[in-house]
Structure 1
């Protein structure tokens, strides 16, 4: 059984009397331990699909099934709890809290996800994850002292500290140069395999597609065949 099943998902936005269908009956299955890249021109619907899969907005029609449960039929609070405990997010910019150290960024995420680990165990887990992303030596640093690549590494650590099942990555390398982009994608690929996470990624950068297990091309709100 697929970890994620997206069935006949449609999304329509209304602007006055004008209705615009952004997604036009999307069907997609996501398996564990894979990186799936969504590509397409601006306006093709790829970011809308990612946010719907992540429970950040509702479908107009269709269903999103995660671990056998229908997210579409859940209350906002039920979806929020799944998002906090089972999903991780990485965006184009790291969006780190400026007055928290690297270690404190991860501690905050554990609090948000309602981690059941004791404080001593949380410290050990934070150290382990920071070592995985190569940032343990910067655990006491504040965001203002970090490079762009270091900030994104911390953002990835924050996204996986609570052991999510799915990592949603929206243009995770768009703000980085070519070398740092490759470093970050190598890190995402290695973590996806090591931790058996499913990664759904939106990208415009064709060089990043070589890191994906599957590439889904979107055009005009549909999956291109």
Structure 2
């Protein structure tokens, strides 16, 4: 069953009097619970496609249908609410808040998602996710005391703790060595599969592709189909 459908998506950037068309009519379906990897050379449009699908920037043309709702027809506040409550995000850098502990990072995400959970439900969810990402002994640690791999584990925990329906991952292993990359991908896959979270991931990491259900090759703003 399709959770997110992209129809004829276009994006044009203006540079003074000139225009550059980055996306040239993308069609893509993301099924519930599947991980789709976007690959292609730098400048092919991968990250632009991901950020538009995630509601982080506007398209020039086309539409994005999420759970039967046309995101491109909503106003900024409506899109922001969907992003906060129903989407999760993991980027190349962890982007943790420097003055918050690991536990406080997770509490902030729950506050942002405005979930109607009891105090006990929140506490238990935080305990569970910290154990799953093996960061329970770092709950009171600040980001500057964590390694790159530890920071990314916290970022993944933060991205899924509010139980989003779709997770957008932009180069989640790019800043890690090969060992840490595999650890992060195993963790990301296990947590999203466990909760049937749909994943759209941009990556240049070939080893990450073994975890994807589907791989989509992009070239010059289009999906490149075999043959």
TM-score tier by shorter-chain length is over 0.9
State the shift of 1:120 in Å: 2.5
The answer to whether the aligner puts 1:160 opposite 2:130 as a matched pair is: no
Point out the more displaced range, 140-149 or 25-34.
140-149
Q: Which structure 2 residues correspond to residues 71-150 of structure 1 after superposition, within 5 A?
A: 71-150=71-150
Q: Which structure 2 residues correspond to residues 182-201 of structure 1 after superposition, within 5 A?
A: 182-201=182-201
Tell me, in whole angstroms, the C-alpha distance in 2 between the residues paired with 1:60 and 1:95.
28
State the shift of 1:191 in Å: 1.3
State the shift of 1:118 in Å: 2.2
The answer to whether the aligner puts 1:38 opposite 2:60 as a matched pair is: no
Point out the more displaced range, 125-134 or 62-71.
125-134
Runs of 4+ in 1 over 3 A off after TM superposition: none
Give the RMSD, CA atoms, in angstroms.
0.8
Per-residue CA distance 1:145-191 (angstroms, 9 max, x = gap): 11111100000000011110011000000000000000000111111
The answer to whether the aligner puts 1:27 opposite 2:36 as a matched pair is: no
Unpaired runs of at least 5, structure 1: none
Unpaired runs of at least 5, structure 2: none
When normalised by structure 1's length, the TM-score is 0.98
Q: Secondary structure at the match of 1:25?
A: strand
Tell me, in whole angstroms, the C-alpha distance in 1 between the residues paired with 2:174 and 2:14.
30
**Length, aligned pairs only:** 225
